[in-house]
Structure 1
Amino acid sequence: MRILILGGTGEASALVRGLGSRAGLSVTLSLAGRTAAPAREPVPTRIGGFGGAEGLARYLRAHAIDRLVDATHPFAARISRNAAAAAAETGVPLLAIRRPPWIRQAGDAWIEVDTIAQSVDALGVDPKTVFLTVGRMEVAAFANAPQHDYVVRTIEPLGEAMPVPRLTAIRARGPFDEAAETVLMREAGIAVLVTKNAGGNATYGKIAAARVLGLPVVIVRRPWKPDVPSVADAEAALDRLSGTARG
């Protein structure tokens, strides 16, 4: 069985490790290429896009793919739409790993928005220190609110992506625990956290820390994704795919 995994998440890595050593399976991992030095995985890995849904469909046919797994980030809406369209066109069964979103808890002061632009507006006009964790590709929008001090954490170097006068850039890759996040926010004098509702445990520490510190969180809701067969985590995907292989 030939399996193509659209990855870039912890779930994809866990699934690859679970499937990589199993007899009778040929697994390929595909990454978008936004991270310069992705973690090495024990299966063949391709880097870069496919050229939309049509390009992905051509790849599925050319490589005789038997199963397609969408294990991309919850905010990678375009590739998820392309995966659904390509699967429908080719008849290749698609399974998505859809990580549950974070749920507001007692003590959370969330300001929920639908877009990054709305999160910029939600900061208001009064200057404040903002902890920004929305990913390097999204930070440019915050240059429209240069009155704030920004602490920006990204995996890749920030470079010139965010031209504001007061900027502290942090390069780090999760997981981040609650204790460390609490110390970071307290010492930096953070007044508000801006993030996406990515879900999962690896970066939940900042949400818990904001709750402990009584800080508001501007949180971007997830984009729409196609309704396809899905599971919540890599373990469930592994069970589903292993059952298919046995069948």
Structure 2
Amino acid sequence: MNTEQQCYMCNREATSREHVPPLCLFPEMKDSKGINFRKDLITVPSCDLHNSKKSDDDEFLMLSLSGLLKNNPVGNFHQLTKANRAIKRKNKDFIEKEILRNHRYGKIQTTDGKFRIISLGNPNIERLSKCLKHIAYGLFYQEFKERFNGELRMILEFIEYSDDNIQTMKNFLKRRFELEKVLNSELKGNNPEVFYYQFHKPDEFGLIGLKIVFYGTAEAYFSFMEKSSKEPFNLGMKLIEGGMNTFIKLGEEKFELNKKNNVNKA
């Protein structure tokens, strides 16, 4: 590789290329009965810190995403094969300490009438966000051929937030991404059963939107604001931040934030 390239995440010199998303999210052919889910994968220049030294984070991300109940068959199969092998290598407290807080087991009934044991608990959102941030930076580099320098914000659609405002904003963003046009009419990612993504055109403030989908259903939304972008001013956002009961209209739909029954009374 060209050693004069810089890492997609920092100013260090790139010493290798990193898979975006991590390679371990894609099933191996020995598990997929010959189907190649690892064709034409995205790689970006990376330093050692942001590639080889984050293998534990990559495995954490695989275990977190492949275990989601609403995944497509590829995600479910990956959880039963590669993810299960990884868990067996760990100590018995690994799930409780790293993947899910307040972990407990439950069971659900499948369509064939049988019962399946599942894990329940609170996801490690901080570590999950850290892993997904790396993917967002990598896809930005892949799309625009330069390292992102600015502020990145994200909301994870597959997380149920305890904060009503964040939950409402998640639903708002999901709908907004569905309505807005993208830079290219087709989705990107040559293995869409595992992952695909869409970049949205910059808005009037220079903000760039990104949607990533894993295993068919696990969606994550990102907003990139370059340092050179104008600081967006939105009266509705200021009212929300101030705790005022506020409605945001999108098409024919209304999204209510700081609901009256949740606003602290003086």
TM-score (norm 1): 0.26
